[in-house]
């Protein structure tokens, strides 16, 4: 990656990927020897599938950030009040479940 690539935000990269896939989709279904020999339709289907998984992982990322923000807000609500284990478990259990789900989604996107 060059110095100019580092300035591009992940959101801009995702938008560019979606635009590229949309443009390539116009070629899908064409019966030219070159596209058919290259397995273009199948490759484009795989790219769309991967893009959907990446979208899910991206949504999971925002859900996790929101969950952590909510947890921090709850923990900061009353700094004078001691935390009880049961209360902390109630706060952390949904977060742990969300983390597991997000890690699974991200792993699916990467493998």
Does residue 103 fall inside a structural domain? yes
pLDDT tens digits, residue range 35-80? 888 888 888 898 888 888 888 877 877 877 887 777 777 777 666 7
Answer yes or no: is pLDDT of 15 > 80.
yes
Give the orientation angle of helix 40-75 with respect to helix 85-110, to 10 degrees.
Answer: 160
Does some domain include residue 2?
no
Give the model's confidence band at 1: pLDDT under 50 very low, under 70 low, under 90 confident, else very high: very low
What CA–CA distance (Å, rounded) separates 42 from 29? 10
- Mean of pLDDT values over 90-97: 80
Q: Which domain holds residue 97?
A: 8-110
Is 3 part of any domain? no
């Amino acid at each position: 990656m060059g110095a100019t690539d580092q300035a591009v935000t992940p959101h801009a990269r995702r938008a560019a990927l979606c635009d590229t896939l949309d443009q390539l989709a116009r070629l899908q279904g064409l019966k030219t020897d070159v596209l058919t020999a290259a397995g273009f339709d199948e490759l484009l289907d795989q790219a769309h599938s991967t893009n959907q998984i990446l979208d899910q992982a991206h949504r999971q990322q925002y859900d996790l950030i929101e969950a952590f923000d909510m947890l921090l807000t709850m923990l900061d609500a009353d700094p004078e009040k001691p935390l009880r284990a049961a209360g902390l478990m109630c706060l952390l259990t949904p977060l742990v479940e969300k983390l597991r789900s997000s890690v699974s989604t991200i792993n699916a996107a990467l493998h």
